Chain A
Amino acid sequence: MTESGSALAETLARDGIEVSHEGAYPIAAPASEAEVVAIVERAARDGLKVLPIGLGTKLDFCRPEAAEGACDLALSMRKLRDVVAYEPGDGTLTARAGARMGELARTVLAGGHRLTPDVPHPDEATLGGVLGASQSGPDRTRFGPVRHHVLGVRVVRSDGTIAKSGGRLVKNVTGFDLHRLYCGSRGTLCVVLEASLRLFAEPEREAALTATYPAARPALEAAEAVRALPIAPLAVTLEGVDEDFRLHVFLAGHSEQVRWEADEVERVLGDAERRDDEGARCHRALVRDLGRRNGRWPAFRMVCLPSQLPSAIDSTRDFAGARGLQPRFLAQPFAGIVDVFLPGDAATEPESFVALASELRDLLAPAEVRLDPLAVPAAVHRALARTNDEGPAARWMTRLRESFDPAGTFASPLFPCRA
């Protein structure tokens, strides 16, 4: 905890803002927009760094402690959690950043709508946190990533002013899409106060099919066969543990259509376990939350073209196997995303783990497979954070960051660039 951070925390507490001291830095939890503005302004005045968070469940993504002095105080939006507007007739939802995704999903379900993204552990995820991390759920297979459904946001900028972008309309091109820039900016540009999302119809019926394969390739071939069908699955997830690769296909929609689709998928998968409606819903939640099962193991995310998945998974297995590790995989094959978990004690010796991670990254790079740290020790995070700080893309990101936060009031956890 930095000295100045504690001092600020004390001041805030005196002003009646709730401050807790559980982790590496104090966490302030404002109860109003005015308090959010006050915190940002105060931090800016004192030259301190503020890290906007929700409940802090996604801090693994950015590891603020990886960069020294990156954060003096966390600003948790968890208390600002109400629904601002749910318009059932227009299919849109506006809520404050601290709203829990699970609660929002239940709210709109009452009006017959479905909230996307269907993120893991939705009751522990806030809207602001999901947007900050640009976290999509397995349902991106049908709906696309969360950034496609953010209709607008209101934010607090680093100078304490409140600014909006977009609106609450399902179609709107008025002004720059700053909400797209903020989505996934991990709190480095602004604090999100509230956001609007587009909603979808709650399906009449769901179905889930699960088939098991002895290796990644046949499982991915099956996924490919599903993709070739004239259907749009809600989610397709591949789960790989040891020699056991399970492909889960989730369907949702009109009753008759889902029944037909399930038959088709069953035909393609061969021997598959089939679940309907409530069973399918429960199974979907279970598979969605699988990542947690892998606990505190170090994890990476591989991002590549879908066609590169088989070789990405195989080479990762071979690479890890040669080092006595048995990686587990959780993939969304249609999106070209694989989360890799390394069970065991791979990370107990940080130095050798840094070497291992860098080697894996270099191994995958030629096939244009990107390796992002997901939950790794700070040292590994530091080693894997963007290395291409040179070049026009990094330049644009740096300039954006400097333009939106010239004084560096928001924490800079090695993102979007190392600098």
Chain B
Amino acid sequence: MDRRTLDRLASIVGEAGIVADRMRRLAYESDGLTLEREMPELVLLPRDTDETARCMRVLHEAGIPVVPRGAGTGLSGGATPVPGGVTIGTARMRDVLEVNASDRYAIVQAGVVNIAISRACAKHGLFYAPDPSSQKACTIGGNVAENAGGPHCFRYGSTTRHVLGLVIVTAEGEVLDLSHPVADPDGYDLIGLFTGSEGMFGLATEITIQLTPMPAATQTLLAIFPSLDAACESVTDIIAARLEPSAIEILDKLTIQAVEASVFAAGYPTDAEAVLLLDIEGGELEVETTVKGIEPILARHGRLELRSARDAEERERLWAGRKGAFGAMGRIAPDLYVADVVVPRTRLREIVRLATDECTKRGLKMSNVFHAGDGNLHPNISYDRRDPDEVERVLAAGRAIMQACVDVGGSLTGEHGVGLEKQEQMKLLFSPADLAAMDLARVALDPDRRMNPGKMLPLRACMETRTRPIPGGMRAEEARP
């Protein structure tokens, strides 16, 4: 980057908003997907929409690629830097700007941590529903970029259902203010299109989110199963019976053991092959009826024990265990590959078993903890990235699992996004024409393809549909293997 551009950027964000030295930049070389690493040319930490827009204008003029970053907890490499690119982080945009209890929305800066929103509106009996497992660290901006999910999205839906408005800084540095929350968009649904666009359409600096009233009653059940198969089959039957709990999660033995060894020990039985964790929410009588509907299904599939959380504290402990599960795998190996496939909920058992086989035959250690109610599986493969052979086997198993899911009508990712990780697999699911349509949206909003380039869309498909000239700096990047 030339000196003049650097100086201009520095004058916008000030010393505290710029990370230029090599040592500190290195801390930004990956997000939660540690397989992919790249050094950012520069990291900017603007404080608000205005600073962000001014930075983006400078970067637009200089033709420099931009990678947005929230807390860097993403698992698909969405925030992995690109060579020669600038990473713009939202870590200094942490203000809750407005909580409107009567119209049930809040306007927050993009760097606000997911759980902080619920904290800010708890006194009004409201909460922010999507609850990714990383909710104590991940930011709402990142949630919007990835259309993040979480256990309770089974009832409440993923992030996109809860985004009412956005302030977007475009690739050219314009400010697109769509923050006023109304029922239906005026024109195209730009908010729906932007949510889940993995930072490729611009950078959201403010989010208007819908707040949900806390349920009148909640019951948390923990069912203990003698086999993972039986747990999966229970879920399939619960769905087929059209029962509507708010979350249905499965944890397998290895996961349970890792969690129980951690600060998040929840009291899961360490000798169980699998547990099913369910939240049932709603009116008191509704909860009661739903529980009555679920119990016989669990019994039919041979659950060994059924526990019900006695109080809020126990409920919280059971859920904290689930949400700490991913990190707890650090006890097993230094690195973790988290797959995020989705299958029709009639195929749960089959695919879980297949995923296990794909790992076993490659000599890999695999564990399962997933959003069973949504058919969103997370086969987690533990490995050590210092062992290149093992890394290869992990990637091969990941590919095999994705292929198997696509074969049964499933998809590559349910909540983590495509990012760098599943980019090549996009071709399994989408035809060149499908991908070309996606690229049409991209070039419409970012003609230079400068926002988070090299992510999501497989590279060859992009090259084929490229309709406009690309600035010189981009060629090297797009040619990335």
Contact = CB atoms under 8 A, between A and B. Distances in A.
Answer yes or no: are A and B bound together in one complex: yes
Interface of A: 87-92, 112-113, 134, 136, 140, 144-145, 147-148, 155, 157, 161-165, 167-178, 180-181, 183-185, 200-202, 230-232, 253-257, 260-261, 303-307, 332, 335-337, 368, 370, 372, 386, 392-397, 399-400, 402-404, 415-417
Contacts of B374: 170-171
Contacts of B411: 167, 169, 172, 174
B424 to A, nearest CB: 13
B418 A184 contact: no
Contacts of A397: 187-188, 190
B333 interface: no
B189 A157 contact: no
A285 to B, nearest CB: 22
B285 interface: yes
B444 A400 contact: yes
B188 A173 contact: no
A386 B187 CA distance: 8
A173 B417 contact: yes
Contact of B192 (A140, A155, A177): A177
Nearest to B185: A184
Give me the 5 closest cross-chain CB pairs, A-B, nearest first.
Answer: A180-B192, A416-B187, A230-B216, A403-B444, A201-B242
Interface in B426-481: 426, 429-431, 433-438, 440-445, 456
A234 to B, nearest CB: 13
Given A176-B196, A177-B147, A337 B184 contact: yes
Give the interface size class of chain B. 35 or more
A257 B283 contact: yes
Contacts of B434: 163-165, 175
B184 A134 contact: yes
A168 B344 contact: yes
19 contacts: A90-B239, A90-B344, A163-B436, A164-B434, A168-B344, A175-B435, A177-B147, A184-B185, A200-B244, A230-B215, A256-B289, A260-B284, A336-B183, A370-B182, A392-B176, A403-B440, A403-B441, A403-B443, A404-B440
Nearest to A113: B242
B26 to A, nearest CB: 29
Given A87-B344, A91-B242, A163-B431, A306 B103 contact: yes
A399 B445 contact: yes
Interface in B399-421: 409-418
B324 interface: no
B430 A164 contact: yes
Contacts of B157: 144, 148
B413 A174 contact: yes
Contacts of A144: 157, 161
A175 B426 contact: yes
Interface of B: 102-103, 146-147, 149, 153, 157-158, 160-161, 170, 174-178, 180-190, 192-193, 195-197, 200, 213, 215-216, 236, 239-240, 242-244, 282-286, 288-290, 342-346, 371, 374-376, 409-418, 422, 426, 429-431, 433-438, 440-445, 456
B346 A145 contact: no
Nearest to B346: A89
A261 B236 CA distance: 30
Contacts of A185: 188
B437 A163 contact: yes
B418 A400 contact: no
B291 to A, nearest CB: 11
Contact of A178 (B161, B371, B410, B437): B437
B441 A181 contact: yes
A413 to B, nearest CB: 12
A398 to B, nearest CB: 9
Contacts of A261: 283
Contacts of B161: 144, 148
Contacts of A92: 344
B410 to A, nearest CB: 7
B456 A175 contact: yes
B285 A254 contact: yes
Contact of B433 (A91, A134, A163): A163
B198 to A, nearest CB: 8
A301 B158 CA distance: 28
A11 to B, nearest CB: 26
A303 B285 contact: no
A180 B197 contact: no
A134 B188 CA distance: 10
A181 B242 contact: no
- Give the interface centre of A90, A112, A370, A399 by most chain B CB atoms within 10 Å: A90
B430 A303 contact: no
